[in-house]
Structure 1
């Protein structure tokens, strides 16, 4: 119940309505690198991340993976949610050990028939979410590659960073190629930008780890840009 109450989608529900949702919710744990569902399979559940990091990706006709998004604590996926009959639009994989809350679509549809107010309140929230995503997409298309790289670094620091004496250590949950794909550029470009930030003594990069020495300085790179 407390986690559901913090979730934007259910924020406006009454205690009684929230209790009904909690009754059909299922806790799930998924291990690192495990596949939760595959692109095109029947959509059985909608998931909420209680803790962890999930990667969603699509596979093209040549068998190459195209990363759609990285999702973290508090996020719902797939974004098409409960009100769309189509199959899962992408494959979902756990990047780290994750704890999820799964709500079966069929049971939720039955719940909405009995409590129409739940659906009405959620549609309002989803409308706001759609506008937020549209604004986010517009913002990303206007950012240069350096801005996108630093934004992802800050997101990873917030989600996975371990802090000690103002130094942030991130055990990198993806390959450098996956990092590059997620920000829409090449691995060579990402490596060049990370080397530049290294020379500025903002961070240090190894194969599986990033150490951020100056988080404030890193943030200033995009706030002043």
Structure 2
């Protein structure tokens, strides 16, 4: 199976904050903010279309990525060949860094769900930078630790909260990044980048459970589903439902 992607010119900016997708606490963005210039980082700009893979499970790690725009699904496959989404990477977030630090092959595949633009730093350059700049290595490691903490917090949400709250949280999160909103109203129309089965896997539940949850949200007039299109009449009411103690 071949990787698919379009590799562009190296990014010319010297600060990740000027690229439009950087996140203050991202491990990759932190390298540029540590005073390293673009020549040292040798970042490149890559664009991928929907359905393309950035890397596959079992591939060697050849560098670290930071998503500027789009949506990436990290998938893992079990011994029976069943694939499940274990993480959604959103703009400003880094990925591939765990495999880089552990010097291991990728434990999952990175698939593009929404046309994506990302920054990439080759492994060889990162190795040289971190080996020659201990202070940068410490900052990079701390940022990675914060990234992993956020993943742990999300895992806690998906294992301790009711399915209704997990689904509401995911919808609100996707809405923030990808929704087309009607001007002057609180209504949101969102095209989901995941199938029902993938939605269930992303929030740690079964397809039949998410089907019942969707029906209940529709009965409560908080969200209406038609295929992959979702209409949220009031994002404020959905947010209140998510934050409620029920």
Task: Report the TM-score, using the length of structure 1 for normalisation.
Answer: 0.90
Residue in structure 2 matched with residue 188 of structure 1 by the alignment: 208
* Residue 49 (1) aligns with residue 62 (2): no
Q: For 1:166 and 1:98, how far apart are their aligned partners in 2?
A: 27
Q: How does 1:33-182 map to 2 (within 5 A)?
A: 33-80=51-98, 82-164=100-182, 165-182=185-202
- In structure 1, C-alpha distance between the alignment counterparts of 2:30 and 2:61, rounded to whole Å: 25
TM-score, scaled to structure 2: 0.83
8 Å CA contact 1:20–1:111 kept in 2: the answer is no
Please give the secondary structure, in 2, of the residue aligned with 1:95. Answer: strand
Cα distance change of structure 1 residues 22 and 204 upon mapping to structure 2, 3 Å threshold: farther
- Worse overlay, 125-134 or 154-163: 125-134
User: In 2, are the aligned partners of 1:3 and 1:50 still within 8 Å (CA)?
Assistant: no
Are the aligned partners of 2:65 and 2:120 in contact in 1 as well (CA < 8 Å)?
yes
- Contact 1:176 / 1:187 at 8 angstroms: preserved in 2? yes
Contact 1:17 1:115 in 2 (8 A): no
Unaligned runs of 5+ in 1: none
Looking at structure 1, the residues matched to 60 and 233 of structure 2 have their Cα atoms a distance apart, in angstroms, of 45
SS at match of 1:94: strand
* 1:174 partner SS: coil
In the TM superposition, what whole-angstrom CA distance separates every residue of 1:144-178 from its partner, at most 9, and x where no partner exists? 11111111111111121111132111111111111
On the 8 A contact 1:10/1:18 being kept in 2, the answer is: no
In structure 1, the residue matched to 2:42 is 24
Can you list the C-alpha shifts for 1:48-77, whole angstroms capped at 9, x where unaligned? 000000001111122110211111101110
Mind listing any 5+ residue stretches in structure 2 that lack a counterpart? 1-13
Relative to structure 1, the CA distance from residue 21 to residue 213 in structure 2 (aligned partners, 3 Å threshold; closer, same or farther) is: farther
1:109-155 per-position Cα deviation (integer Å, ceiling 9, x unaligned): 11223323211221222333334433443343221111111111111
Structure 1 residues 23, 133: CA separation in 2 closer, same or farther (over 3 Å shift)?
A: closer
Task: Please point out which of 198, 209, 213 is paired with 2:229.
Answer: 209
Q: Does the C-alpha gap of structure 1 residues 199 and 15 become closer, same or farther in structure 2, counting only changes over 3 Å?
A: closer
Matched position secondary structure for 1:133: helix
Cα root mean square deviation, aligned: 2.1
Instruction: Tell me whether 127-136 or 185-194 shows the greater mean CA deviation.
Output: 127-136
**Displacement, 1:190?**
1.2
Aligned length: 225
* Structure 1 pair 153–217 and aligned structure 2 pair: CA distance change class (3 A): same
